[in-house]
Amino acid sequence: MTIRAMCDTFDVTPRTLRFYEAKELLSPIREGQKRLFTRRDRGRLKLILRGKRFGFTLEDIRQLLSLYDLGDQQQTQLKRTLEIARQRLDAMRQQRADLDSAIGELDEQIIAGQQLLTEKMRQSAA
Amino acid sequence: MTIRAMCDTFDVTPRTLRFYEAKELLSPIREGQKRLFTRRDRGRLKLILRGKRFGFTLEDIRQLLSLYDLGDQQQTQLKRTLEIARQRLDAMRQQRADLDSAIGELDEQIIAGQQLLTEKMRQSAA
DNA sequence: AGACAAGTTGACGTGAAGGTCATTGTAACG
DNA sequence: CGTTACAATGACCTTCACGTCAACTTGTCT
């Protein structure tokens, strides 16, 4: 798959794909000087984009990608990766809790603001 | 309240407070050249920090702060602010949904990784 | 051969949210 | 009066995730 096809498929720019390659998140093969993205790259890119939506940094993602790429992993390495993943999971659960209470609070604020607005409208109507 | 007291109370650096002043999030009064932070500043800082934990940008926060500061607000202005708040609320709900599914998926991945590790351990034990 | 598209590398720019000096000011202590 | 300590200002630095632009190759069509 050429870089253009990748960009169209995943809605990213060429710059992004080259950037990910530089960061060792992707490793397209070369035909001459051109990049060709394989099935593997497509799979990884999907995961990268998902990871990004969830607020992982690219470096986090680079480490987590090894979860999906375990062929020759050592046990120690795998343990480390699981550890990282668990930490992220905890962080995400915490974030989820924060977000939830934030939503509640903001919701209340909006209701209060809405009431204030309604009062004002009654006032200027009178 | 001096800048030091503020920093200790809210666990931020002086740089941060000066930065927020430059961004018009805070407006401490001056005694000579020194900043003195009032009740109002303390209230606003609390809100700023909460907003930050929830992923608002400082510019978002600057706008939302007017929700708490409505004395001379016009209705039109208030409506705008409510609109912004509602948009953020929607974004946050979306973010929460994303986060939920991410948590679920990551959880599964970890379980899978854990099983793989267990197998490996059995192998090397045999 | 000319021209165009699509690709490449390299270098520099961007915005958010501060960090990190270096320098200068001011006030209180002994 | 000198030292310490806390403040202030200004200027540049940092990280992340790319954007932007220039200059150059390669391949293809006509």
At residue A25's C-alpha, the angle toward residues A22 and A31, to 5°, is: 65
Pick the CATH number of A1-55 from 3.40.50.10190, 1.10.1660.10, 3.10.20.600, 3.90.110.10: 1.10.1660.10
Do the beta carbons of residue B6 and residue B42 sit within 8 Å?
Answer: yes
Is pLDDT above 90 for B56? no
Residue A70: the pLDDT is 61
Residue B71 pLDDT grade (very low, low, confident, very high; cuts 50, 70, 90): low
CA distance B76 to chain A (A): 9
Q: Quote the CA–CA distance of B103 and B111 in Å, as a whole number.
A: 12
Is pLDDT above 90 for A8? yes
Both tokens assigned to B62: 């600057």
Beta strands in A39-106 (DSSP E): none
Most confidently predicted of A24-28, A48-52, A55-59, B119-123: A24-28
Residue B100: the pLDDT is 87
- Looking at domain B1-69, its CATH class is mainly alpha
Residue A123 pLDDT grade (very low, low, confident, very high; cuts 50, 70, 90): confident
Using the beta-carbon criterion (under 8 Å), do A78 and B106 form an inter-chain contact?
no
Is pLDDT above 60 for B92? yes
Distances (CA, A) of A33 to A15, A26, A28, A30, B53: 16, 16, 11, 6, 45
**Nearest CB partner across the interface for A92, out of B81, B102, B113:** B102
Residues 7-66, chain B, CB closer than 7 Å to nucleic strand D: 14, 18, 33-35
Q: Quote the CA–CA distance of B120 and B31 in Å, as a whole number.
A: 68
**Nearest CB partner across the interface for B53, out of A98, A103, A113:** A98
Using the beta-carbon criterion (under 8 Å), do B110 and A78 form an inter-chain contact?
no
Residue B27: the pLDDT is 95
| Domain range summary for chain B, segments of one domain joined by + | 1-69, 78-126
Residue with structure tokens 């209340």? Answer: A108
| Chain B residues within 8 A of A50 when measuring between CB atoms | 102, 105
Is pLDDT above 80 for B11? yes
Do the beta carbons of residue A92 and residue B57 sit within 8 Å?
Answer: no
Q: Which residue from A minimizes the CA distance to B121?
A: A75
Residue with structure tokens 């909006």? Answer: A110
Pick the residue of A90, A105, A106 with the most B CBs within 10 A to test the interface with B by mutation: A106
Distances (CA, A) of A77 to A44, A73, B113, B118: 19, 6, 12, 14
Tell me the pLDDT tens digit for each residue of B78-90: 787 788 778 878 8
State the virtual CA torsion across B114, B120, B121, B123 in degrees, nearest 10: 150
Residue B63: the pLDDT is 81
- By the CB < 8 Å criterion, does A104 face chain B? no
Footprint of strand C on the protein (CB under 7 A): A 2-5, 14, 18, 33-35; B 13, 15-16, 19, 32-33, 52, 57-59
Residue A43: the pLDDT is 94
